[in-house]
């Protein structure tokens, strides 16, 4: 069932139970009430009684208080509160499901599908807060809780999916969908709900359900274990003792590494933390080749060191269990099961797209390496000093080629990308395109860390209505997983009472010293705009029912990827991309250099991503799922011709997308699938001559963003663009030949 869960109040729950709980006489007739003796009150189990009491006393369960319809009680979160909160949430939801199942009325959309959407709110609140803590503040206490409770929560979810009486009600509504007066959205919910239950095992026999439950619970525990090990391996760093080893690094980067060392008790030293936002700039600018290799190896070997944090055995078991589950559910492979509810549908279609782009991307890498090798040879003072380009050299020499070919220095560009200015630029983009405005209110609601900033979001297109509260968490810290992501603490809905959106963006920028500006790269700035695209998608939702809020995996990245394009538009540059010292906008000459180099290094960027995506799909189309992860990775990359100068963007031992849940498994291709739509959508704006063209923005909001999954997403794109997306737009954007 959907993970969007809602709350049923204690009073309403008691009424539902009272309607279903009566006492029969031996003859089956109900005794009439008398003035002397009222009917006995319905009895409830001790577990439910305890849960109802916890709802009043445990802040993790209670309805959120404060502005915006309530906000998460981050100021009251303690690890020890979660076990009782989880158990109580499960019991409360169990009672709500029982009330649905035991309803004597015939199944209808209202008393079955809507009732399901309206169940489990307390557990949903607990789970939302817990997800924030495990992603952002993952101390050992939370790792232990995650390992213990992930299988239990999975079992509680399976209990609902495997409830045959519930499924029969869902099936009855589904079979009557054409004659019961449902509107289009309601009919879509009924159809998707029925298919989701079937896809997840509702029609299996009792023995098969027991087997599936065991597989699901074991996988949930393995996902938790994988996540903890990778976080632990990322909570490491490379120490630099001497300032001479900082050669080539810009002052802002040195300051960031010094701040990282100071915060870890390493006074007088510098620390390159084992996260991408810290490692990539070091590999780009450090002239110390030995240190580059050391930093690179620490990063790419996360989870692959044969120690307590090694993840290879976990991966092997996950892949095997996934294959067993797919077979049990009637699918040829895990990829077929996962892609059954996507736009691509068939793994072969995803593979076809990836391989179409792979060939020109690899050819471009060969050209890029040849250009870099020439500079490396020229830099060698004597023949004995010559090197062959290795993966830890790629970014360093690519930057030299960029500077030589385009006279473009990334350090110069960063001086126009001060973090606060880039954030302001993203908000202005949202206002110009969609009428959203952001007002900072940090300090008015609880947050989980002092770095968090909070904003009220208003929508001019809805009469300047308050539509959300937006949290942003921009900096890396121990216990926070690497990467960047968006999460909704609470999504929009209005099928009962309109809900205000609460959502966040989470990045891992390197925090500078006190009162020092944080200068970020173009890649990091695009990542910020990307994640903000996810936030916009959630904030402007007009979907009535939460069951239609989520979109297919290979669509969800489209609204985020397309918004990266606005970063370097002239209106944004003039207003926000200003030199952090002089305050002058980025000059046209520098922008021209950036534009001229926009297709530069696209071979590298595409191949490191596609290497990961192809390995993911190959891994999950093995019917038996039996693999040695390290050997499989090496052999697959060799077979497809992975250039030796590049590694996968995410190697299997640290591939959180694949192994911390099922979410992106057999789905990493979705970034490319979405990017085809994103490139074509951006071409629509470019075709008007105005990146903020009002009519194109109106269609983008109405068809692509606000409509969620209320109807087929391929049709939504056709409504926006007038036709299906064309891969040629993506190839052209990356500078690859169109054949």
* HEC secondary structure over 656-708: HHHHCCCCCCCCCCHHHHHHHHHHHHHHHHHHHCCCCCHHHHHHHHHHHHCCC
Local structure of 474: helix, strand or coil: strand
Q: Please say whether the beta carbons of 142 and 133 come within 8 A.
A: yes
Tokens 């990063």, residue? 299
Q: Please say whether the beta carbons of 149 and 134 come within 8 A.
A: no
Q: Please say whether the beta carbons of 501 and 491 come within 8 A.
A: yes
| Strand order through the sheet with 485-490 | 436-440, 453-459, 465-475, 501-509, 485-490
Q: What letters, b where the CB count within 10 A reaches 16 and e where it falls short, cover 557-577?
A: bbbbbbbbbbbbbeebbeebb
Q: Please say whether the beta carbons of 738 and 603 come within 8 A.
A: no
Q: Which residues have CB under 8 Å from 670's CB, separation 6+? A: 342, 553, 554, 555, 556, 557, 664
Q: Cα–chain-centroid distance for residue 171?
A: 32
Q: Which of 531, 557, 564, 608 is catalytic?
A: 531
Q: Please say whether the beta carbons of 482 and 447 come within 8 A.
A: no
Q: Of all helices (H) and strands (E), which one includes residue 122?
A: helix 121-136
Alpha-carbon distance 289 to 279, whole Å?
Answer: 14
Alpha-carbon distance 1 to 704, whole Å?
Answer: 24
Name the maximum alpha-carbon separation found in the chain. Answer: 108
Alpha-carbon distance 615 to 637, whole Å?
Answer: 7
Q: Please say whether the beta carbons of 341 and 196 come within 8 A.
A: yes
Q: How many CA atoms lie within 13 A of 375 on its CB side?
A: 18
Provide the token pair at 732: 């052209």
Alpha-carbon distance 454 to 446, whole Å?
Answer: 9
531 is catalytic: yes
Local structure of 627: helix, strand or coil: coil
Alpha-carbon distance 411 to 409, whole Å?
Answer: 5
Alpha-carbon distance 662 to 648, whole Å?
Answer: 20
| Residue positions annotated with a catalytic role | 531
């Amino acid at each position: 069932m959907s993970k969007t869960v809602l709350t049923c109040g204690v009073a309403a729950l008691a009424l539902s139970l009272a309607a279903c709980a009566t006492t029969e006489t031996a003859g089956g007739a109900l005794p009439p009430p008398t003035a002397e003796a009222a009917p006995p009150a319905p009895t409830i189990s001790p577990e439910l009684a305890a849960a109802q009491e916890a709802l009043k006393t445990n802040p993790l369960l209670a309805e959120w208080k404060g502005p915006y319809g309530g906000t998460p009680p981050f100021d009251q979160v303690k690890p020890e509160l979660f076990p009782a909160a989880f158990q109580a949430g499960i019991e409360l939801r169990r009672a709500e499901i029982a009330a649905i199942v035991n309803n004597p009325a015939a199944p209808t959309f209202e008393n079955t599908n809507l009732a399901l959407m309206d169940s489990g709110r307390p557990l949903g609140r607990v789970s939302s807060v817990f997800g924030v803590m495990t992603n952002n503040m993952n101390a050992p206490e939370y790792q232990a809780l995650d390992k213990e409770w992930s299988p239990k929560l999975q079992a509680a979810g399976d209990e609902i999916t495997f409830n045959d009486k519930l499924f029969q009600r869902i099936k009855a509504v589904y079979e009557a969908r054409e004659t019961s007066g449902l509107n289009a959205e309601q009919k879509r919910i009924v159809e998707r709900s029925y298919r989701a239950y079937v896809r997840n095992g509702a029609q299996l026999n009792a023995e098969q359900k027991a087997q599936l439950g065991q597989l699901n619970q074991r996988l949930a525990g393995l996902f938790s274990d994988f996540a903890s090990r990778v976080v632990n391996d990322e909570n490491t760093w490379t120490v630099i003792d001497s300032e001479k080893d900082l050669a080539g690094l810009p002052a802002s980067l040195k300051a960031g590494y010094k701040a990282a060392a100071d915060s870890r008790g390493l006074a007088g030293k510098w620390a390159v933390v084992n996260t991408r936002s810290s490692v990539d700039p070091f590999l780009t600018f450090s002239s110390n080749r030995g240190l580059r290799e050391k930093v690179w190896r620490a990063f790419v070997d996360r989870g692959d060191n044969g120690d307590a944090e090694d993840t290879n055995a976990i991966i092997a078991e996950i892949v095997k269990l996934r294959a067993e589950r797919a077979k049990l559910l009637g699918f040829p492979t895990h990829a077929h099961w996962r892609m059954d509810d996507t736009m691509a549908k068939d793994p072969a279609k995803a593979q076809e797209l990836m391989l179409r782009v792979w060939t020109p991307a690899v050819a471009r890498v060969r050209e890029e390496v040849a250009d870099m090798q020439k500079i490396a040879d020229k830099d060698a003072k004597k023949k004995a000093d010559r090197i062959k380009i290795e993966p830890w050299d790629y970014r360093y020499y690519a930057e030299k080629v960029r500077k030589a070919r385009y006279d473009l220095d990334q350090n110069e560009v960063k001086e126009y990308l001060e973090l606060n200015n880039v954030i302001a630029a993203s908000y202005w983009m949202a206002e110009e395109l969609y009428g959203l405005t952001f007002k900072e209110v940090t300090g008015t609601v609880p947050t989980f860390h002092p770095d968090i900033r909070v904003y009220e979001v208003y929508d001019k297109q809805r009469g300047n209505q308050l539509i959300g509260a937006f949290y942003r968490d921009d900096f890396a810290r121990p216990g926070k997983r690497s990467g960047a992501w968006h999460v909704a603490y609470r999504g929009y809905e209005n099928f009962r009472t309109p809900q205000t959106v609460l959502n966040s963006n989470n990045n891992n920028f390197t925090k500078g010293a006190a009162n020092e500006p944080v200068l970020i790269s173009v890649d990091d700035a695009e990542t910020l705009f990307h994640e903000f695209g996810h936030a916009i998608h959630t904030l402007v939702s007009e979907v009535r029912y939460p069951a239609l809020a989520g979109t297919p995996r290979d669509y969800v990245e489209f609204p985020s990827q397309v918004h990266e394009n606005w970063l370097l538009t002239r209106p944004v540059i003039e207003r926000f991309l200003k030199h952090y010292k002089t305050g002058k906008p980025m000059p046209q000459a520098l922008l021209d250099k950036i534009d001229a180099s926009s297709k530069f290094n696209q071979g590298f960027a595409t191949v490191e991503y596609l290497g990961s995506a192809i390995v993911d799909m190959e891994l999950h189309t093995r019917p038996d799922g039996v693999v040695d992860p390290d050997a499989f990775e090496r052999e697959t990359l060799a077979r497809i011709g992975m250039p030796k100068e590049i590694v996968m963007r995410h190697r299997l031992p640290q591939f959180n997308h694949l192994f911390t849940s099922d979410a992106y498994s057999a789905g990493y291709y979705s970034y490319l699938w979405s990017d085809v739509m994103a490139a074509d959508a951006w071409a629509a704006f470019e075709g008007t001559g105005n990146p903020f063209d009002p009519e194109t923005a109106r269609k983008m909001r109405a068809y692509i963003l606000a409509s969620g999954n209320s109807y087929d997403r391929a049709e939504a794109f056709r409504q926006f663009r007038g036709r299906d997306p064309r891969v040629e737009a993506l190839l052209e954007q990356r500078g690859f030949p169109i054949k």
